[in-house]
Amino acid sequence: MSFTASPVLALTLPLWRSRLLIGLFGLLFAVMVGRAIFLQGMNTDFLQAKGESRYGRTLEITANRGRITDRHGEVLAVSTPVKSLGVISGEAAMTPQQLVSLSALLQMPVRDIERRLADSTTNFTYLRRQVAPDVAEQVASLRIPGLQLKNEFRRYYPGGEVMAHVIGFTGADDMGQEGMELAYQSQLVGKAGSRRVIRDRPGAIVEDVEAIKQAEDGQDLMLSIDAKIQNLAFGQLKAAVEAHRAKAGAVVVLDSNTGEVLALANLPSYNPNNRSRLAGAQLRNRVLTDTFEPGSTMKPFTAAMALELGRVKPDTVIQTSPGKLTIGTATISDSHPHGALTVEGVLQKSSNIGTAKIALGMEPREMWDMLNKSGFGIMPQVPFPGAVAGKVKPPKTWRPIEQVTMSYGYGLSVSLIQLARAYTIFARDGELMPLSFVRGDGELVRGEQVVSAQTARAVRRMLEMAASEGGTAPKARTMGYRVAGKTGTAHKLENGSYAERKYRASFVGFAPVSNPRLVIAVMIDEPSAGKYFGGEVAAPVFSQIMGGALRLLSVVPDAPNKPIIMPPEGEEVQESI
């Protein structure tokens, strides 16, 4: 039988069935064409977005934070490139062996990595910020899908603990947290950019598509700080704190011509490059944030008030015998009787009795005006975060004993930077200088006239006597330069009463007297090695810093350049406290 004669081929199908099949196929084709037109012609944006979400990424281009330098351009803070490690949610997949290797490289428990992956609610989750470049390369070699290395910057501080309280530090997001890093955040921080890229399935970038926005680096900041003077000040302060077994210490150096801060140091300090064991006491910038009763360092202001008002003259004689003075129910005293003293002698010998009698010759409002004009009780106009105003009571509340105690530094509180700034009045012929932490143009800056030049020069002479033989601070003398300044030794106030054996020793002064260039204030908190007077503890620190700083600045000497013979132990005049 031939093939064409097969019964199957001879079978006749109904005509409606073939037409139905053709109609169904035609309808299906029309639906597919319509769907294609809808997806490719009317819903393009949606599909494009879905596609790009699988292979495209918009990455942030991190901006470089501005450098911080000292006044000579020495770098004090700089950003260095680092990598931060994270994962793309839903795409991170790693074998148990990869997980163990990653844990070892990041020094991070496996459980913590798993928890971060499970708890992720964002597209990108950080596992570790600011990873060292060599570690980042080892992590990348694991080739874990969904694992991303992001370019960032980490701040490095070459000055370490020496510059810590001036510069401060930034956090993991490169935002200022303390010091100049926080004060000038808006200037230092840059503006991040962005770029679009195409990546493969493991997450590696295979093509740059476009730069959406260029990153703008932050601006550099040149401080008024002199790194050499800063190192000198910190070293001398540290030696004194250790030698006297003190709780803390602080020092600030000002340029009296410009009001610029050339050095600022505190102890305890910390290393801003490694803050893993940082404690609160280490962070405190005591020069600006701590207030204390300044003790006898306030006596020059009492003398200046009386001189300015014409109540006394430098040679006016004041009787301080018998070394005690009763005011109401309170009695004040000197360390030992001095007898009759001129106003110059009162300051030279640091007599509480003499200072009290000078103060009682003035009205409370007159004293308060002078203190206010000198910057006490007023917030310092500096960009530093945490600076405090101190406290001076309103004059209408003063009792006679309070007026007296404030005249020699009790009953009011000041910060060390306020005290240093106030002494510019005597260094600058009566002008109170504005302060600056940023380098100026080098020109002489004018301050606010607080007292006459004649009054300031008269007090300057008294302060030179106080820092000479026969004064309370012969150890403040500096070879080759005439110095002027005043000691302070005050009991510490604790729980509303004065601690019997806890003191703050201080010294504030300037040099050279013939043409003052620097003002330096030193404070040593709770010296406990036997000595506690400002003339024994703080004055030598002043001397070492002042001598070294003036030579670094090439300031011409105004005194014989010969060794200074210090008085034997115990022979220097002790101030009244």
Would you say 157 and 164 are in contact if contact means Cβ atoms under 8 Å apart?
yes
Torsions phi, psi for 266 (to 5 deg): -135, 150
CB contact set of 573 (below 8 Å; sequence gap of 6+): 349, 350, 470, 471, 472, 535
Per-residue tokens: 100: 């163990």
Residue 33 has, within 13 A of its CA and on its CB side, a CA count of 6
State the DSSP H helix or E strand holding residue 414, giving kind and residue range, or none if neither. strand 414-415
Residues in the chain: 577
CB contact set of 451 (below 8 Å; sequence gap of 6+): 304, 307, 308, 370, 425, 430
Amino acid letter, residue 366: E
DSSP assignments along 459-483, one per residue? HHHHHHHHTSTTSS-GGG-BTTB--
Q: Are strands 124-131 and 68-69 parallel, antiparallel or unpaired?
A: unpaired
Per-residue tokens: 63: 């901006």
Strands (E), 34-109: 56-61, 68-69, 75-88
For residue 342, which of 357, 322, 363 has the smallest C-alpha distance? Answer: 357
Exposure string over 443-471, b if 16+ CB within 10 A, otherwise e? eebebeebbeeebbebbbbbbbbbbbeeb
Residue with tokens 């991303």: 148
Distance of alpha carbon 320 from alpha carbon 354, whole angstroms: 6
Q: Which SS3 state, helix, strand or coil, does residue 276 take?
A: coil
Q: Which SS3 state, helix, strand or coil, does residue 431 take?
A: strand
Per-residue tokens: 453: 């030049």
Which of 296, 351, 413, 415 is catalytic? The answer is 296
Would you say 162 and 74 are in contact if contact means Cβ atoms under 8 Å apart?
no
Is 141 in the active site?
Answer: no
Active-site residue numbers?
296
